[in-house]
Amino acid sequence: MLKIYQSFLSCLVKPAVLQEESDVLQVDFRNPSNQKDSQELFVGFAAMQMIIKEDMEGMHEVKKFRLEVRDFYVNVLAYMAKKFPFKDNLICNAVVVDPAVRQNLSMRSFLKLLDELPASAVPTEKQDAVCVEFMQYQSAKDIDLPPYTDGERVDAFWAAMAKLRDPATSQPCYENLCTVAQHVLLVPHSNAARPCSA
């Protein structure tokens, strides 16, 4: 989500402004002094090429078009800032299920993630077990886990993780952790399950 937001910001906001701000959500995209000049505003490759090749710079229609594009970017960014769940704890900590970063994760992030899941995801009697599995997963050698290349489907990795068995006991190695991953990967994408207020 942040990448999409940042891509729209980069179409409208001056690069220096984006580089100065460590948190892209704090960039004041509405401030005209932070916005690119009209000629630098990204209006699409084909449109930019046509304006240059046909020497249309300065024409009333081009100025009007660029104003409409500027308004479009401002409106899209305002909508995204208001509606996208950038600060949602579950989404912010969902990186826990990304195998590409497993060794860099903190127990704190994992615990924050668990707090956001329903109680049925990790019952009280399994909380210690899931934390131990998380630490074992973090410290496991790559050869002991299913193969994963950055950019591959994370759900396929966790499906393979669920099949891993302890050779001595034939019990699942990461049963509780896989349940957590399943809950994270199946986060509801709508509010359809919420009761409607009359």
pLDDT number for residue 191: 53
How sure is the predictor about 197, in pLDDT bands with cuts at 50, 70 and 90?
very low
Q: Are residues 17 and 75 in the same domain?
A: yes
Sign of CA dihedral 15, 17, 20, 24: negative
The angle, 0 to 180 degrees and rounded to 10, between the axes of the packed helices 127-139 and 107-116 is: 140
Q: Are residues 123 and 174 in the same domain?
A: yes
Q: Which of 83, 117, 145 is the last residue of a domain?
A: 83
Other CB atoms closer than 10 Å to residue 74's CB: what's the count?
15
Domain containing residue 162: 89-185
**Residue 194 belongs to some domain of the structure:** no
How sure is the predictor about 86, in pLDDT bands with cuts at 50, 70 and 90?
confident
93 vs 23, residue with greater confidence: 23
As for how many domains the chain has, the answer is: 2
Q: Are residues 141 and 68 in the same domain?
A: no
How sure is the predictor about 127, in pLDDT bands with cuts at 50, 70 and 90?
very high
* pLDDT per position as a tens digit, 34-85: 999 999 999 999 999 999 898 888 889 999 999 999 999 999 999 999 988 8
How sure is the predictor about 88, in pLDDT bands with cuts at 50, 70 and 90?
confident
Question: What's the Cα-to-Cα distance from 78 to each of 5, 34, 72, 191, 195, rounded to whole Å?
Answer: 10, 15, 10, 22, 28
Please compute the mean of the pLDDT values over residues 121-135 and round it to a whole number.
93
Q: Are residues 147 and 72 in the same domain?
A: no
Q: Are residues 139 and 66 in the same domain?
A: no
**Residue 62 belongs to some domain of the structure:** yes
Q: Are residues 97 and 38 in the same domain?
A: no
Q: Which of 83, 104, 136 is the last residue of a domain?
A: 83
Q: Are residues 105 and 46 in the same domain?
A: no
Over the chain, what is the mean pLDDT?
A: 89
Please compute the mean of the pLDDT values over residues 76-101 and round it to a whole number.
87
**Residue 129 belongs to some domain of the structure:** yes
Comparing 24-38, 90-104, 135-149, 166-180, which segment has the lowest mean pLDDT? 90-104
Report the Cα 193 to chain-centroid distance in Å.
23
How sure is the predictor about 198, in pLDDT bands with cuts at 50, 70 and 90?
very low
Residue 185 has pLDDT above 80, yes or no: yes
